Structure 1
Amino acid sequence: MRWYVDGMNVIGTRPDAWWRDRHAAMVRLVDLLERWAADSGEDVTVVFEHPPRPPIRSTVIEVAHAPRARADSADDEIMRRLAADPQRASAWVVTSDRWLADQAHAAGAAVESSAAFRDRLERG
């Protein structure tokens, strides 16, 4: 099963001053996702609007970004990837954005809120 994660939505679920160091918050999320994916056996793609600088590399999950950074570009990239996924009926999309949730559901994917998913990650 593939999980497409709207990275900044998940980061934004906790008021832990992530905005002071966005890159460090992205690294922390990737670390959480790697542990969860390794433990659960799930395939994970986390999508950010901007490419992380410096790049964040992972051998466990896919770290992706939109081709051009702009408002909602991560949402568009998630939908592009979901539309190209031949197994989208078994995919999950993690987001707090109503538009993306509606589009993903219409494409046949299941949707989980960013807050619920963050709770799942932190429970282990």
Structure 2
Amino acid sequence: MRWLVDGNNVIGARPDGWWRDRTGAMARLVAALDAFAAGSGEEVAVVFDGRERAVGQDGAPRVTVGFAPGGRNAADDAVAARVAADGDPATLTVVTSDRELASRVRAAGAHVAGAGGFRDRLPEP
């Protein structure tokens, strides 16, 4: 199983004040995803909307971190493009609760897991 995470969508699944420190919220998610990848042995990638930021990716060797500049929903387009270009999308699970993105990636052959349920599975960093 390979996981492709809509980062902003997962962060927004829990109203824990993430909006006061977006970079910190991203870093916490990256650390939690790295711990998840270490425990599961599964491949994990995350895509965030916006400019590249230092979110601890250097200390999270098991997570591929990407950024999608270009405005709101840029990460959705980047995730959908990755799925469409993937050689084996049936082994991908996209984590998002965005209905439109879920529909796009399902049409390309990927599975979908809800952001809130997935976030509940993550270890606290």
The TM-score with structure 2 as length reference comes to: 0.91
Q: Distance in 2 between matches of 1:60 and 1:72?
A: 25
Cα RMSD (Å)? 1.4
The unaligned stretches of length 5 or more in structure 2 are none
Summarize the alignment of residues 1-124 of structure 1 with structure 2, pairs less than 5 Å apart: 1-54=1-54, 56-57=56-57, 58-66=60-68, 68-122=69-123
Distance 1:43 1:117 in 2: 15
- Cα deviation for residue 87 of structure 1 reads 1.4
Identical residues among aligned pairs (%): 51
Task: Give the gaps of 5 or more residues in structure 1.
Answer: none
In the TM superposition, residue 54 of structure 1 has moved relative to its aligned partner by 3.0
Distance across 2 between alignment mates of 1:73 and 1:53: 15
Q: Deviations over 1:65-107 (max 9, x none)?
A: 11x3311110000011111111111110011110000111111
**Paired AA for residue 92 in structure 1:** T
1:3·1:44 contact (CA, 8 Å) conserved in 2?
yes
Q: What stretches of structure 1 move > 4 A for 4+ residues in a row?
A: none
Please report the TM-score for the alignment, with normalisation by the length of structure 1. Answer: 0.92
Asked whether the 8 Å contact 1:93–1:109 carries over to 2, the reply is yes
Determine the C-alpha separation between the residues in 2 that align with 1:54 and 1:40: 25
Q: How many residues align?
A: 122
CA apart distance, 1:55: 5.2
Deviation at 1:56, TM superposition (A): 3.6
Give the superposition deviation at 1:3.
0.8
| 8 Å contact from structure 2 (residues 35, 123) kept in 1 | no
Matched position secondary structure for 1:54: coil
